[in-house]
Amino acid sequence: MSESMSWSVRTEQFCRKLNLKIPILLAPMAGACPVSLSSAVAREGGLGACGVLLMQPSAIVDWAKQFQSESDGLFQMNNWIPDPAPVRDEIHEQQIRDFLANWHPDSGSARPMLATPDFEEQCEAMLQVQPAAISSIMGVYPRPFVKRMKKAGTYWLATATTVEEAKLAVSMGADAVVAQGFEAGGHRGTYAAGDAQGAAGGLISILPAIVDSVNVPVVATGGIADGRGIAAAITLGASAVQIGTGFLRTPEAGIPSAWSDAIGTTMPNHTILTRAFSGRLGRSIATDYAKSAESVGAPEPAPYPIQRGLTGSMTGEARRDNDLAKMQAWTGQSGFLSSAEPAGQLINRLWEDAQKLLP
């Protein structure tokens, strides 16, 4: 919308709506946005984030309490919209276990842990903590929940990877669309899991396509990690940007050092889109495990969350052991641009650099 409006009016309107000082949102990253990082971003006037995918309702409430004790800034809560239950195939799962045993001996006999927190209970907890915004990925919230968000006055940020998804989200009541480019670290937000590989638009194409197709603000995400990327996204019509990988090397993110160090030297072609960690397509560093799982002869990954259950003991141990080869090292294509400076200093510098490039 409103690409004819000057960039400063567009970004100011968005900031005013959400009470922000800087049009930069920390990307929600399940397992990688601790309160320390979110509060550092929010203290400077950006939007903090909490990815609740793996969190029980009590942990969601505790996260918000801790955030409020560390910052009077604002945050978004984010959840994945669940896929239909996957079809189980014991023979195929055993083939995957046999392959994984080459990487982690326990995997040969592991039964996948498929229990995930209850989606509806998580949604209740998200509403209860009264975030400035609630975001969605992999689909749209069910109508009754959208109604409750509206009643509570919660701003709905809906991730979309295509024009069709963006239009669907807006028709359901989304207040803004987060246009996720193919460059993004972590999972692709494509609504139908099977379409993820094909729906792989780069941000420079999908951003103006979505801006021209919907009448709500558009937030750009995917591969943005310096002032040039922010200025480019705003020039293409974005009202704000959302940055994930670009914040992962800050001390407040607290990720394992092997992952953090590798992000800083990872060129775009050294990342890989793979289903080998979770069963849903996502972009990680092209680690030894990811490359091997994508090679000819390796078994096709099982659907989400079965694959995640099968790889869980390997990736969990790798995180504890700081072993990049087997770690779930989600990283976007612009990891090489990311900086290890404190998050508060980084967000201010990024916005200053971007403004110097904007007319």
Ligand X SMILES: Cc1cc2nc3c(=O)[nH]c(=O)nc-3n(C[C@H](O)[C@H](O)[C@H](O)COP(=O)(O)O)c2cc1C
Q: Which residues bind ligand X (CB under 6 A)?
A: 27-30, 32, 51, 53, 78, 137, 159, 180, 183-187, 221-224, 243-246, 330, 332, 334
Task: Between 184 and 293, name the residue whose CB sits nearer to ligand X.
Answer: 184
Nearer to ligand X, 11 or 245 (CB): 245
Q: Which is nearer to ligand X, 27 or 174 (CB)?
A: 27
Write down the H helix ranges in the chain. Answer: 7-18, 35-43, 57-70, 90-101, 119-128, 143-152, 163-172, 203-211, 227-235, 245-248, 257-265, 288-293, 306-321, 343-357
For the chain, helix, strand, coil in percent to 5 are: 45, 15, 40
- Complex with ligand X: residue 81 or 101, whichever CB lies closer: 81
State the minimum distance, in angstroms, from the CB of residue 338 to ligand X.
Answer: 9
Residue with tokens 């394992």: 256
Q: Provide the β-strand partners of residue 240.
A: 219
* DSSP H helix total and E strand total for the chain: 14, 11
For residue 325, the SS3 value is: helix
Angle formed by the axes of helices 203-211 and 163-172, nearest 10°: 40
How far apart are CB 123 and ligand X at their closest, in Å? Answer: 14
Q: What's the CA dihedral at 304, 307, 310, 313 to 10 degrees? A: -80
- Measured from the CB atom, the residue of 177 and 184 that comes closer to ligand X is 184
The amino acid present at 183, given as its one-letter code, is E
Comparing CB distances to ligand X, the nearer of 73 and 246 is: 246
- In the bound complex, what is the minimum distance in angstroms from residue 181's beta carbon to ligand X? 7
Smallest gap from Cβ 256 to ligand X, in A, equals 12
Write down the least CB distance from residue 343 to ligand X, Å: 14
Give whichever of 51 and 344 is closer to ligand X, judged by the CB atom. 51
Minimum Å distance from CB 9 to ligand X? 25
Degrees (nearest 5) of the Cα angle 41, 47, 48?
60
How many CB atoms sit inside 10 A of residue 105's CB? 11
Q: In whole angstroms, what is the distance from residue 328 CA to residue 323 CA?
A: 10
If the CB atoms of residues 97 and 162 are measured against ligand X, the closer one turns out to be: 162
Find out whether 66 and 35 touch, Cβ atoms under 8 Å.
Answer: yes
Residue 90 identity: E
Instruction: Name the minimum Å distance from CB 98 to ligand X.
Output: 28
Q: What are phi and psi of 73, to 5 degrees?
A: -80, -165
Shortest Å, Cβ 196 to ligand X: 13
